[in-house]
């Protein structure tokens, strides 16, 4: 079955468009309340990032959920993984996050977590979609839901993050630059690292509703790199707008992506005897990660792009670690979803235990040349089904002659088609990626 409203990670789009409008979100809240509110305590938590439209959609969700007879706990600005954690600890029926993650401020979206703090399975999303298409019927007035605010939500999540760092270790003497992307980690991350002993310099921590992810954060690590060099810091950590992914920067200003960070954590877990099952990546994971793990005799599996698919595979294979090059990293032995702060702490614990720098640890992963080109779509479609595009892909694969990979896929979070080419020769990879992108543009009339 094809989803009508949900993408790979909730519902997302431009504010004011049909599925990201106040009237739709009221209906979405009501539908979610009908499907999710009948389990557990019948309470749903709502958190949000720092977008100006978050206030509007918080109110809309509130109205829909209350109309379905569901009680609500408002968390305020809270990283996505923080909502997942608090959903579990409150024994709530579900958690909802109002966020468009790494997208600009004029996008927004709604993500859901189950009572266990997991992304919703397909069957539940289909059930919510079915309710959306039914008439909204409000419960009797005596059965309407009630709303309360959780005043200590940030403090609870800060303590949880700190608990994921080994008690015997400290960050004392380590100077770190933290980039909060003017997003949901702005009032969380600096305290976590400071309270563990680090000297913290914070940037991207002055949200105004409009500046989330603007020239800062994990999608713009150059800003962090410049500040790390200026401060002569040991390293830098950049989060995205909702705090479920990260990038790091070493003392020399080099950006360390999710693949290298996954390797560092995997090597540490292996040395401690607590790495079991395969490490799980995606179709976008660099071949260099796979080969580096092979040298450690660690299995590596690939899934479709999206942290929900990584988590599903980890559960089936009894794995504890997986993630994406973008910095979505799941430490399943610590938490139930991708968590930028927790993943960063696992990297710092590994560096502390091994007595090495970030640059030294990351050097063990040799990245193969990989080029990613985004081709913007003006309407919802899948250009990979077009005969000319399929022929171009086959030609590209023949040119690589088994020494690389080609991947075209529509994004589940943005109106773009991602064209990825990986191989041995940087110039060849760049040329093939640009040629494929031009073919896609020509076929869609862009």
Confidence of residue 39 (pLDDT cuts 50, 70, 90): very low
**Which residue matches tokens 């702490």?**
345
Q: Does residue 415 register a pLDDT over 90?
A: no
Share of the chain above pLDDT 70, in %: 98
For residue 307, the model assigns a pLDDT of: 87
Domains in the chain, please, with CATH?
11-151 (3.40.120.10), 157-255 (3.40.120.10), 261-341 (3.40.120.10), 370-444 (3.30.310.50)
* Residue 282 and residue 305 in contact, taking contact as beta carbons nearer than 8 Å: yes
Q: Does residue 245 register a pLDDT over 90?
A: yes
Contacts of 4 (CB under 8 A, 6+ apart): 129, 133
Q: Does residue 100 register a pLDDT over 80?
A: yes
**Which residue matches tokens 């019948």?**
42
For residue 123, the model assigns a pLDDT of: 92
Q: Does residue 231 register a pLDDT over 80?
A: yes
**Which residue matches tokens 């979609």?**
129
Cα–Cα nearest to 10, from 52, 64, 48, 62: 48
Q: Does residue 40 register a pLDDT over 70?
A: no
How many Cα atoms are found within 13 Å in the side-chain-facing hemisphere of 70?
Answer: 31
18 burial via Cβ count (<10 Å: 0-12, 13-18, 19+): exposed
128: left (phi over 0), alpha (psi -120 to 50) or beta: alpha
- The token pair that represents 370 in the structure block: 């990989």
Average pLDDT, the chain: 94
Q: Give the residue, 119 or 39, on which the prediction is more confident.
A: 119
* Residue 153 and residue 76 in contact, taking contact as beta carbons nearer than 8 Å: yes
Q: What are the φ/ψ torsions at residue 366 (nearest 5 degrees)?
A: -95, 110
Please, where are the H alpha helices in 241-280?
A: 258-272
* Residue 10 and residue 109 in contact, taking contact as beta carbons nearer than 8 Å: yes
pLDDT tens digits, 157-212: 999 999 999 999 999 999 999 999 999 999 999 999 999 999 999 999 999 999 99
**Is 101 among the residues known to form the active site?**
yes
For residue 1, the model assigns a pLDDT of: 65
Q: Give the residue, 38 or 244, on which the prediction is more confident.
A: 244
Q: SS3 of 29, please? A: helix
Q: Does residue 154 register a pLDDT over 60?
A: yes
Q: From CA 20, how far away is CA 109, in angstroms rounded?
A: 7
Of 53, 59, 101, 336, catalytic? 101
Q: From CA 60, how far away is CA 111, in angstroms rounded?
A: 14
For residue 38, the model assigns a pLDDT of: 63
The helix or strand, by DSSP H or E, that contains position 70, with its residue range, turns out to be: none
For residue 446, the model assigns a pLDDT of: 60
Spell out the long-range contacts of 304-308 with Cβ–Cβ below 8 A and sequence spacing 24 or more: 305/8, 305/409, 305/412, 306/8, 306/9, 306/282, 306/412, 307/9, 307/119, 307/244, 307/337, 307/338, 308/8, 308/9, 308/119
Confidence of residue 384 (pLDDT cuts 50, 70, 90): confident
- The token pair that represents 433 in the structure block: 């990626």
Q: What is the mean pLDDT of residues 62-66?
A: 97
For residue 388, the model assigns a pLDDT of: 92
Helix 153-163 with 340-354: angle, nearest 10 deg: 30
Give the number of other CB atoms < 10 A from CB of residue 112: 25
């Amino acid at each position: 079955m094809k989803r009508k409203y949900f993408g790979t990670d909730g519902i997302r789009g431009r504010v004011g468009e049909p599925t990201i409008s106040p009237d739709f979100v009221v209906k979405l809240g009501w539908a979610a309340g009908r499907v999710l509110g009948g389990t557990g305590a019948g309470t749903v938590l709502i958190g949000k990032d720092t977008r100006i439209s978050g206030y509007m959609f918080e109110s809309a969700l509130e109205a829909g959920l209350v109309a379905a007879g569901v009680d609500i706990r408002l968390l305020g600005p809270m990283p996505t993984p923080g909502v997942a954690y608090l959903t579990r600890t409150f024994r709530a029926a579900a958690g909802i996050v109002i966020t468009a993650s790494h997208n600009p401020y004029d996008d927004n979206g709604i993500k859901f977590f189950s009572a266990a703090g997991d992304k919703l399975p397909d069957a539940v999303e289909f059930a919510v979609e079915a309710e959306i298409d039914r008439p909204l019927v409000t419960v009797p007035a005596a059965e309407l839901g009630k709303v309360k605010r959780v005043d200590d939500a940030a403090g609870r999540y800060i303590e949880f993050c700190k608990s994921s760092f080994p008690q015997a270790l400290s960050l004392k003497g380590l100077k770190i630059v933290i980039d909060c992307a003017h997003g949901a980690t702005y009032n969380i991350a600096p305290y976590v690292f400071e309270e563990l002993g680090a000297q913290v310099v914070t940037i991207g921590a002055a949200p105004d509703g409009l500046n989330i992810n603007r020239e800062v954060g994990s999608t713009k690590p150059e800003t962090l790199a410049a500040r790390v060099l200026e401060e002569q810091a040991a390293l830098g950590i950049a989060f995205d707008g909702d705090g479920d992914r990260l990038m790091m920067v070493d003392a020399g200003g080099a950006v360390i992506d999710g693949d290298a960070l996954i390797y560092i954590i995997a090597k540490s877990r292996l040395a401690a005897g607590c790495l079991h099952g395969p490490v799980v990546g995606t179709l976008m994971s660099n071949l260099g990660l796979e080969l580096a793990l092979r040298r450690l005799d660690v299995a590596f599996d690939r899934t479709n792009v999206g942290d929900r698919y990584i988590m599903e595979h980890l559960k089936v294979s009894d794995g504890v670690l997986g993630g994406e090059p973008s910095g979505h990293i799941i430490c399943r032995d610590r938490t139930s979803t991708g968590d930028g702060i927790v993943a960063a702490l696992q990297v710092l614990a590994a560096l502390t235990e091994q007595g090495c720098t970030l640059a030294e640890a990351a050097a063990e992963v040799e990245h193969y040349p990989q080029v990613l080109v985004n081709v913007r779509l003006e309407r919802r479609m899948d250009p990979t089904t077009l005969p000319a595009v399929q022929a171009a892909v086959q030609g590209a694969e023949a040119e690589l002659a088994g020494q690389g990979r080609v991947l075209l896929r529509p994004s589940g979070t943005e109106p773009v088609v991602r064209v990825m080419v990986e191989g041995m020769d940087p110039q060849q990879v760049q040329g093939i990626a640009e040629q494929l992108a031009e073919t896609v543009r020509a076929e869609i009339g862009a």
